[in-house]
Chains A and B, each alone.
Chain A
Amino acid sequence: MQARITQQMTRTKLGPVSNIPPGEGRVYCVDGENIAVFHTRSGAVYAVQALCPHRGGPLADGLVGGTTLICPLHAWKFDLTTGEALFGDCGLKTFPVHIDDDEHMIVLDGK
């Protein structure tokens, strides 16, 4: 019982998909932690840590193409699906996230 409650508490409705213009990212603060959420032009959503592991660049301000993210400060590159560094020596923490079919809400599945 206890375990189920924890599970439920970690699911977070972030807001409508329309909050994030296609191809861009926005930051949400969940339980005191900032998370960058991206809405790609193909309609998928991804969530990763908000700051670049290199020098703390704001990743939500980066450029997205396909599932590649480029940090705006020094162009470190990451794969949004896995968090893997495509250029740079440290990857990103990723969070499971999906779009709720009925309400078109972005839902963070857990942290």
Chain B
Amino acid sequence: MAKKQLVVIGNGMAGARTVEEILQRGGAEQFDITMFGEEPTGNYNRILLSNVLNGSYKEDEIFLNPLSWYEENNIRLHTGKKASGLLRRARLVYGEDGQPEAYDKLIIATGSRAFIPPMEGTTMADGSLKPGVFVFRTLEDCRQIADWAKGKQTAAVIGGGLLGLEAARGLQNFGLDVSIVHLAGHLMPQQLDATAGAMLKTSMEKLGMKVLLNKNTAAILGADRVLGLRFADGGTLECDMVIISAGIKANWEIAAGCGLTVERGIVVDDQMRCPDDPDIYAVGECAQHRGHVYGLVAPLWEQAKVLADHITGKNTKAAYHGSKVATKLKVMGVEVASMGIVDPQTPDDEVVQFSEPKRGTYKKLIIRDGRLVGGILLGDISKAAYLIQTFDRNTPLPEERLHLLFDIGDPPKQVTFAEIGANAQVCNCNGVSKGAIVACVNSGKRNAKAVMDATRAGMGCGSCKSMVTEIVQWACGGETEEDPSVHYYVPGVPLTKPELIRAIQERNLRSVSAVFDYLAGGKEDAASKPGLASLLKTLWKGEYEDEKDARFINERVHANIQKDGTFSVVPQMPGGITSPAQLRQIAFVAEKYHVPLVKLTGGQRIDLLGIRKDDLPKVWHDLDMPSGYAYGKSYRTCKSCVGSDFCRFGLGDSISLALKIENEFQGFDSPHKMKLATAGCPRNCSEAMVKDLGAVAVEGGKWEIYIGGAAGSSVRKGDILCIVDSHEDVLKYMGRFIQYYRENAKYLERTHGFVTRVGMDQIRAVVVEDSEGIGERLDREIAESKAAYQDPWKGAWLPANENQFASVLPVLS
């Protein structure tokens, strides 16, 4: 099949990026590609122009696509040639020289140009800018500004927006006195509120700039070159040069000239196509999508992907839904980051702010429905990466708002990942360095999950997962590819947890192999098995069809595997309460089976370590105690302090509460382990406030119920779910939370991760206030799970199969 002709008008970041995306999707086999570029060079990173001006980058360092790239990819590039006409009926694009190019598909990526507000004396008679007047959009502008600035004394920048401030800072490097002339009442009005704008003004003035606000420039003075400015209020300012940076204007003329719909930009649909002509697309700063014209690079990247998916037919359903805009100011010595709206818009918008004008620090967040809708950071932007990501993904915010603004109690966070050495260990469990993560990204793994699978970073205790994710994003330059499987409950079944539960119930699937057969096309995935087994047991309880091979070895043999292949045995001992008779029995077993190590656990129990698999049933039989579940992704135990019987401070009976809790929830499968504790007073000797669930007695016969605490690889104080009057209510609300967690958490998500992800407001609403009307159902599920409980050690002399515990089988012949 003959290749189609693809013509791209514009060779800036949007045009070239879109072509790259098309090539990545095998576009070279479908299209002969021709590009028009008004500038004489290949594509360069326009964002870094202010860095070229201030001297921190050389010109050749900002090129993204050198001319050789076009050759290598067989792209015909017309450099230094503007496309001047478009004939849609004939499908022809004309260059300035009158030469036509035929197209089957056309992409308009003409970008934008500087907006020049009406001012007297801006141009000469021939329409060119007056000598000394510049705009700041291209590499050529940059060169001319640098040439002119040599030997001059003073400069004025018209426009106190992001680009204007960066240009002003760049001019200072030429030894000029720089004044910023701004029409509005505060700097960077798109990104800052008035308070932040005022503080930014002070910061800029400290850098030696003059900032004039509320100044409307009426005229540029000087007959044949710039001598100064005259303002509408009659005042004047002498200067040797002027940079106009008063906003941008989309280059839509070529589209308007042939009847395509144009408003502030070229109007496109969700596939980046012009609604009037299915063969013409527009992308980048010239395009207008759902009323928005974006002047930043991040939206452009998203648009380019959708366009490429659609034009190559790779994914004709790909759709662009608009972008959330976040920016950072790149001015040495002044740190500014901003996202979303700058002031609250509804009475319910929550504003969290911190202001320290003396040090130039200001932080303000606008929160709606528990999610970030706007933010300003000035002076200290160490939390910017986290906040921008949270904003961009619309993830729920943690209850504790203070941590959004500051790193408190955590080790000081690196400002950027560039500062961390390549050898620095990121994952301490699996010994993965930053360098290894970056190398993995460079080898083509473009999302956190793929990198974690390949390097095992974050796959140990999991506490470094968020850091690994951030490093992957940093290494990808912010363009990670979303892996849909991160939303699945287990990687091998392409369904989220609610979808999976629905499918399991509708089809009455009671075993792991049935789930693979019906929901994963018969394809077994080893790593997905334990998660599915856990969920099926939670859903079907006694009706669950147990397939031993789906269980991790610990749950297959009801003991915890050790590094040498032996196992540890921990009998049940709720509240840490034991008796002389029990201790004698344990001592007897330890001696009989030559147990190499007897140790007290963190959960107030006794651990017999180093037991051979073959001996497990005999050990259980001789112990004659129930399993303590110290091996399972399940309810583990509930420890306790002495409580009110003996302790002179005790306010509540924590021991008998611990026994009731154990009796209620013992053996429950759950997404991850659950460790509990009860404390008889707020001295918290049993550490109940940092357990997955805890109950703490307080004065007045009440109990505080804590959830989401952690004191393992993560350390977190739990949140108070509610305060109740009786042991029965502790059991009731703990049970409701446990069931809600079992039904909604991802596999291997501890309660602290679940609580921060879902948010306390939501959990409290469902569990305590019964906002979804499921309270009674949750109670019932708990009662059914309890009724289905069977002590696995009791079956010691009735193994699931005859060699369940055999470490080596005899050979026949």
Contacts and interface: CB of A to CB of B under 8 A. Distances in A.
Interface of A: 12-15, 19, 21-24, 26-30, 34, 41, 55-58, 61-66, 68-70, 72-75, 77, 87, 105
Nearest to B557: A61
Contact of B549 (A57, A64, A74, A105): A64
Given A21-B548, A26-B806, 5 more contacts: A12-B813, A15-B811, A63-B527, A75-B527, A87-B453
Given A65-B492, A69-B526, A13 B561 contact: no
B812 to A, nearest CB: 4
Nearest to A51: B565
B364 to A, nearest CB: 44
A34 B807 CA distance: 10
Nearest to B561: A72
Contacts of A26: 803, 806, 809
A72 B549 contact: no
Nearest to A31: B811
B445 to A, nearest CB: 13
Contact of B808 (A12, A29, A62, A70): A29
Nearest to A59: B565
A23 B529 CA distance: 11
B809 A70 contact: no
Among A19, A24, A68, the most chain B Cβ lie within 10 Å of the Cβ of A24
A41 B809 contact: no
A58 B563 CA distance: 9
B459 A66 contact: no
10 contacts: A14-B809, A26-B803, A27-B807, A27-B808, A30-B811, A41-B524, A63-B527, A65-B528, A70-B526, A87-B454
A105 B812 CA distance: 10
Interface in B687-724: none
Interface residues of B, number: 37
Among A13, A57, A63, the most chain B Cβ lie within 10 Å of the Cβ of A63
A56 B561 CA distance: 13
A65 B565 contact: no
A28 B809 contact: yes
Contacts of A77: 526
Interface in B565-599: 565
B811 A12 contact: yes
Contacts of B561: 58, 61, 72-73
A47 B459 CA distance: 28
A27 B556 CA distance: 16
The majority secondary structure among interface residues of chain A is strand
Given A23-B547, A61-B561, A15 B812 contact: yes
B812 A65 contact: no
Interface in B518-538: 523-530
B798 to A, nearest CB: 15
A72 B529 CA distance: 13
A14 B811 contact: yes
Nearest to A25: B549
B785 to A, nearest CB: 25
B565 A14 contact: no
B494 to A, nearest CB: 15
Contacts of A28: 808-811
A107 to B, nearest CB: 10
B126 interface: no
A43 B524 CA distance: 13
B685 interface: no
A61 B811 CA distance: 19
Nearest to B525: A65
B366 interface: no
B776 interface: no
B766 interface: no
Given A26-B803, A105-B812, A58 B565 contact: yes
Interface in B17-36: none
B550 interface: yes
A21 B398 CA distance: 46
Nearest to A103: B812
Contacts of B552: 63, 72
B456 interface: yes
Interface in B345-389: none
B473 interface: no
A13 B811 CA distance: 7
Nearest to B806: A26
Contacts of B430: 74
Given A23-B549, A26-B803, A61-B565, A70 B527 contact: yes
Contact of B526 (A22, A57, A66): A66
Nearest to B567: A61
Contacts of B768: none
B60 interface: no
A14 B808 CA distance: 11
Contacts of B811: 12-15, 28-30
Given A28-B809, A41-B524, A61 B803 contact: no
Contacts of B251: none
